[in-house]
C-alpha cells in the first residue's frame, strides 16, 4: 500500500510533465487501432482504467467518435488534464483496485500501462474485476513492462525528482490469469521502448476477448 501511495503522489506531481511527454506519442497507435477494430459495435461503451492526461482517450475518439468513453485515474491532477483534453468523455478520480464496486457493464475496457504500478496480486484482481465489467464478447486491452517479477522495485522519474515503484510482469502468468477469467488472447504485441539511460525495455500489449 505504501508503494502505491508513493506512486500516486508522484503521478499527481508529474501530471503536466506526463502530458507533455505522452500526449503526442505515437508508438502505440497501431495497437489502439487494433483495439478500435475489434470493438465493432457502434456507440460502444468503453471503460478506461488509468487514463492519465487522456492521451489514449483522445486517440481512440479521433478514430471512433461514436465511442462512449468513461475513464478513471487515481491522480486528481491527471483527471483534471484528461477532462480538458477530452470534453466529450467522462472522467473521475477512482482507484482501479476498486472497480469491483461498479455495477455497470461495458463493451470494452482499455488500460494503458496500469499493471506496472500494480503488484501481481492486484493485477490478478484487476483482470478478474474487468471480466465482471464486460459483456460477453467484450474486448480487454492492457499493457505492461515485461521482465522477471522479482526485478520490481523503486525507480526514479525522468526528472530525477520522484520515485515510483515499478512492477514487472511475465507473459506466462498473465496468460494464466486471463485463461482463468475466460479471456482469449486475440493478439500479443511487443514493443521496444527507449529509456533515458540509453537502454530499452520491452512492453507487452495484450488484446483479449471475454468468452
**Residue 85 sits in a domain of what CATH number?**
3.40.50.150
- Tens digits of per-residue pLDDT, 116-168? 999 999 999 999 999 999 999 999 999 999 999 999 998 876 666 778 899 99
Dihedrals φ, ψ of 141, to 5°?
-110, 130
Find the domain containing 167 and state its range. Answer: 2-210
Contacts of 167 (CB under 8 A, 6+ apart): 115, 116, 117, 118, 119, 120, 123, 149, 152
Dihedrals φ, ψ of 41, to 5°?
-65, 130
Which H or E element spans position 17?
A: helix 2-22
Q: Does residue 12 sit in helix, strand or coil?
A: helix
The cell numbers describing 34, all together, are: 487494433
The domain total for the chain is 1
- Would you say the pTM of this structure is higher than 0.85? yes
- Tens digits of per-residue pLDDT, 157-187? 666 677 889 999 999 999 999 999 999 999 9
Amino acid at each position: 500500500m505504501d508503494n502505491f501511495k508513493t506512486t500516486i503522489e508522484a503521478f499527481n506531481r508529474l501530471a503536466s510533465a506526463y502530458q507533455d511527454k505522452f500526449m503526442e506519442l505515437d508508438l502505440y497507435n497501431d495497437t489502439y487501432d487494433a483495439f478500435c477494430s475489434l470493438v465493432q459495435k457502434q456507440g460502444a461503451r468503453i471503460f478506461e482504467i488509468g487514463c492519465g492526461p487522456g492521451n489514449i482517450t483522445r486517440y481512440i475518439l479521433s478514430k471512433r467518435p461514436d465511442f462512449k468513453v468513461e475513464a478513471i485515474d487515481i491522480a486528481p491532477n491527471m483527471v483534471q488534464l484528461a477532462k480538458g483534453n477530452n470534453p466529450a468523455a467522462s472522467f473521475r478520480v477512482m482507484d482501479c483496485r476498486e472497480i469491483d464496486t461498479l455495477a455497470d457493464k461495458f463493451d470494452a475496457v482499455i488500460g494503458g500501462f496500469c499493471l506496472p504500478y500494480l503488484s501481481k496480486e492486484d493485477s490478478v484482481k484487476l483482470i478478474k474485476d474487468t471480466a465482471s465489467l464486460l459483456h460477453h464478447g467484450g474486448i480487454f486491452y492492457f499493457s505492461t513492462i515485461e521482465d522477471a517479477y522479482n526485478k520490481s522495485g523503486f525507480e526514479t522519474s525522468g526528472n530525477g525528482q520522484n520515485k515510483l515503484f515499478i512492477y514487472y510482469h511475465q507473459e506466462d502468468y498473465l496468460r494464466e490469469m486471463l485463461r482463468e477469467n475466460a479471456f482469449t488472447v486475440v493478439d500479443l504485441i511487443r514493443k521496444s521502448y527507449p529509456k533515458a539511460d540509453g537502454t530499452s525495455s520491452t512492453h507487452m500489449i495484450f488484446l483479449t476477448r471475454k468468452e
